[in-house]
Amino acid sequence: MMLSVAGIEFSYNRHPVVKDIGFQLDSGMILGILGVNGAGKSTLLKCLNKVLAPRKGSVILNHEEILAMKGTEIAKRMAYMPQKYSEDSLTVFDAVLLGRKPHIRWATTAKDFQIVENILISMNLDAFALRPVNSLSGGEMQKVVIARALAQNPKVLLLDEPTSNLDVKNQFEVMGMIRRIVKERELSAVVSIHDLNLAFRFADIFLMMKHHQVYRLIHKKDVSPEMIRDVYGIEVSLTEIKGHMVVVPLYEE
C-alpha cells in the first residue's frame, strides 16, 4: 500500500498556511511531522482527509484520489485523531463503537460489536468497557481514542499530537502502541509531534516543516543537528544511547 501526497496547499483568508507539501509513505511506516508552533502541522493533517479542503493538491491511497471522495468513504480509509477529545459520559465500549459509524447503514450488527470487542481485548481495554470515558486517566483515554480509530478499519492513521498532556510513561506507552499497531496491521501513520526524542524513537521518516512548507523529507538516521537548528532555532547535539538517537538541547541562558 502506498500513500502519495502531492502539491497540498491551504490558506486562511488568503494567508498561506500549507505550501506545496508532498511525500510518499509505505505501509508499516510512521511519518513524523516536525516543526515549530504555527508551522502548519495540524493544518496539513486535516487537509489529508479533507477535514479542511486544500486549495490545491492530491492525496492518493492505493490508486484512489481521497480528495474526490465523500467524507464517509474517506473515513473508511483514514482515521483522524485530533489533539483534543471531548470527554463525555459514553462508556468505553460505546465510544469505540462510534468508530464503526462509516460502515453502518441502518443499525449496528453483531459484526460491529465483535469488532469492537476484539479491539478492546487486543489493547487490554476490555476491563474498562463499561466505564464512562470521562472517568479515565489521560493515558487510558488516549488508548480509547486509538481504539475508536481502529474500529474504522482504516489503512491510514492521522494523529495530531497523540501524546500531548501525557506523562512520560504514558507518552512512551501510547507511541509504542501506535508503532506496534502500524507494524502488525500494515497501516501507514502520519503523526504531528513536538517531542523530538519521541519522534526519533518511534517514527521512521520525518517531514520537517519551516515557513509552512517542506524543509526536509528525510529518514531519521540522516537528520543532522544543523537541520534541527534551522527548523527550531536552537543548537542541539545528537547522541546514541542504547541504539536510540537522543536530542540534547545546548541551550544557554
Q: Which three cell numbers stand for residue 176?
A: 509504542
Confidence (pLDDT) at 87: 61
Of 13-17, 110-114, 227-231, least confident by mean pLDDT is: 13-17
Q: How confident is the model at residue 226 (pLDDT cuts 50, 70, 90)?
A: very high
Any idea which residue has 490508486 for its cell? 63
Confidence (pLDDT) at 8: 97
Question: Are 225 and 236 within 8 A, CB to CB?
Answer: yes
Q: How far is CA 168 from CA 30, 163, 164, 171, 175, in A?
A: 20, 9, 10, 5, 11
pLDDT in tens, 99-118: 999 998 888 899 999 999 99
- Orientation of helix 138-151 relative to helix 110-122, angle to 10°: 140
* Residues 198-203, mean pLDDT to the nearest whole number: 96
Domain boundaries defined on the chain:
2-77+154-249, 86-153
**Cβ contacts of residue 43 below 8 Å, gap of 6+?**
10, 17, 18, 52
pTM exceeds cut of 0.75? yes
Q: Can you say whether the dihedral through the CA atoms of 88, 93, 95, 101 is positive or negative?
A: negative
Question: Are 76 and 104 within 8 A, CB to CB?
Answer: no
The residues pairing with 58 across neighbouring beta strands, listed in sequence order, are: 6
Q: What's the distance, CA 70 to chain centroid?
A: 21
Q: How confident is the model at residue 15 (pLDDT cuts 50, 70, 90)?
A: confident
Q: Can you say whether the dihedral through the CA atoms of 214, 220, 224, 225 is positive or negative?
A: positive
**Considering the domain 2-77+154-249, what is its CATH architecture?**
3-Layer(aba) Sandwich (3.40)
DSSP E strand stretches across the chain = 2-12, 15-26, 29-34, 56-61, 64-65, 78-81, 156-160, 188-192, 205-210, 213-219, 236-241, 244-249
Q: Which three cell numbers stand for residue 197?
A: 526524542
Confidence (pLDDT) at 206: 97
Residues present in the chain in total: 253
